[in-house]
Structure 1
Amino acid sequence: MLRSLLYVPGSSPRFLEKAHERGADAIIIDLEDAVAANEKDAARAALARTVPMVGQRGAAVIVRINTHDETTMLADASAACEAGALALYIPKVSSPEVLHQLDRHLEPLESAANRPPMRFAPLIEDPAGLLNATSIATGPRVFALSAGGEDLATSMGAQPTPEVLRIPKLMIHYAAKAAGVLSFGLLRSTADYADKTALAAAISEAKDFGFDGATCIHPSVVSLLNDGFAPSAEELDRARRLIAAADAAAQAGIGAFTFEGKFVDLPIVTRARALIARSSG
């Protein structure tokens, strides 16, 4: 499970050195918005050191690259690949073409390094990307989709309120689920990380909708994400009991049955099995 994905500025030694202590399932080393223009080259060059450093306790290491120009994009991707990062977070993806370009660029580098192929998590941040979400989700190497709420609202001349972001984020979420890839996000902007009560409610809502996890920009949110997106002990216990009842019913030649006062049929059993599988995956 990738429940929590913590952004860390690629130009901040203080945050990078402590990132592995935060308990996040994944660390996203950010070369894009969190890094000043005059520090981007140094942050990229440092990946050879920072990628293994932030991943030393087993967190998946992902690099958010720049896509504002081709030269910088490919240089960022090359450095992330050579440093051993698992995946790229690719901002401002409006169509699958950029994914195909990166795929072609990385293949010979991966072959020369004898390393597994990197995976892609496109960030959809404008209306064109939103309307192309289905084709982006089925692009090469994609393992997850996410919405960039602040940029998406800005590109529409809108405010990043829950009402504005809800439908676009759900559209991207549905595209991810249709393609069988992970879906990261909350149905609101994550810029206000201080309101823990509102964040906990948003995480619970996102879990109900089937989101797999979410990114955060502050370490204090990591535990909320880990707890909120993980199945609770009560949920797991009930799922195991339901599966046992379903297996017994199947042995007796019974399809639908009643479990703890509620009607149960195949979709409900399938959901319980999926819950168990996610918790042990």
Structure 2
Amino acid sequence: MRLRSLLYVPADNERFIAKAHERGADAIILDLEDSVRPEHRDAARKSLGTSIRSAGQAGAKVFVRINTESATEDATAAAGADGLYVPKASRARIEALATDGPNLLLFALIEDPMALLDVAAIAAHPAVSGLAAGGEDFATALGAVPDPDVLRTPKLLIHYAAKAHGKLSLGLFRSIADYADLSAIEHAAKEARRHGFDGASCVHPSAVPILNAVFAPTSEELDWAHRVLATAETNKAGAFRVDGRMIDAPIIARARSILSQT
């Protein structure tokens, strides 16, 4: 599954939902959590079926970020979605949703220190398809400021846990709440991709084309990968050179990974 860009859309905003399929995001996250006022959540939940069909009509994946206080009810209402975004994820919450909820992909949002200390076990659960950090919530739990320096270490630990268990790793080394600084988003996306992140979420559609471009292989990377694999097919030695650089098994695997992202 390729998830370069995931656009949050409030599940009670009919105007935003109607345009979600036009934004070009790989996934739409219909949010029943922080962006929806409590008094609007019942109505948003009841209309989820229609919202899911509308958001996904152009082929994007549709996920629902459930509310922590009504997780089971939200999960049941989201049965037509492709997956659930699980805030305040823990082993117990993931297990409960995997056991009692609809058969959907789960994406664990790590938002407190206890979950971070247990992140490898959360990532190992077979129902979990990807992990991300909830930067604002995590910083609040620490009594910290959600700037890139504070978020870097927890996000890397979540990233390592995801990759250790073959799951998608999503995020940037900054809070997505600061959505107006597009140059900073692009810089953060390039940094995250260098570390091996697969994509990131955003709260404004202006970031979608940036994420789509940054988390996709460049023409230069594709050309290099093709040449590495072509040389590998004809080379009998264990290692060889391309562009003056030694190529061996892990670099060949990297070339294959690049081509798999197209």
TM-score bucket of the superposed structures, by smaller chain: over 0.9
What residue in structure 2 maps to residue 212 of structure 1? Answer: 198
Please report how far the alpha carbon of residue 198 of structure 1 lies from its aligned counterpart in structure 2 after TM superposition.
Answer: 1.3
Q: Which AA in structure 1 matches 2:40? A: E
| Residues 22 and 219 in structure 1, CA contact (< 8 A), matched pair in contact too | yes
What residue in structure 2 maps to residue 257 of structure 1? Answer: 240
Please report how far the alpha carbon of residue 140 of structure 1 lies from its aligned counterpart in structure 2 after TM superposition.
Answer: 3.8
Q: Which AA in structure 1 matches 2:63? A: I
Q: Does 1:145 align with 2:143?
A: no
1-side partners of 2:51 and 2:144: how far apart? 36
1-side partners of 2:111 and 2:259: how far apart? 33
Q: Does 1:177 align with 2:202?
A: no
What residue in structure 2 maps to residue 187 of structure 1? Answer: 173
Identity of aligned residues (%): 53
What residue in structure 2 maps to residue 269 of structure 1? Answer: 252
Unaligned runs of 5+ in 2: none
Q: TM-score, normalization: structure 1?
A: 0.91
Q: Which AA in structure 2 matches 1:191? A: A
1-side partners of 2:227 and 2:71: how far apart? 50
What residue in structure 1 maps to residue 76 of structure 2? Answer: 78
1-side partners of 2:126 and 2:222: how far apart? 34
| Residues 185 and 214 in structure 1, CA contact (< 8 A), matched pair in contact too | yes
Q: Which AA in structure 2 matches 1:169? A: K
Show CA shifts across 1:72-107 (max 9, x none): 1111000001xx1010000011x211111112212x
Please report how far the alpha carbon of residue 278 of structure 1 lies from its aligned counterpart in structure 2 after TM superposition.
Answer: 2.1
2:150 to 152, 159, 164: 164
1:127 to 113, 120, 123: 113
Count of paired positions? 261
What residue in structure 1 maps to residue 85 of structure 2? Answer: 89
2-side partners of 1:193 and 1:262: how far apart? 39
Show CA shifts across 1:127-161 (max 9, x none): 00110100111124100000000100000000001
| Residues 100 and 140 in structure 1, CA contact (< 8 A), matched pair in contact too | no
Please report how far the alpha carbon of residue 195 of structure 1 lies from its aligned counterpart in structure 2 after TM superposition.
Answer: 1.3
Unaligned runs of 5+ in 1: 111-116
Q: TM-score, normalization: structure 2?
A: 0.98
Q: Does 1:98 align with 2:93?
A: yes
Compute the RMSD of aligned alpha carbons.
0.9
SS in 1 for 2:217: coil
SS in 2 for 1:6: strand
2-side partners of 1:215 and 1:13: how far apart? 20
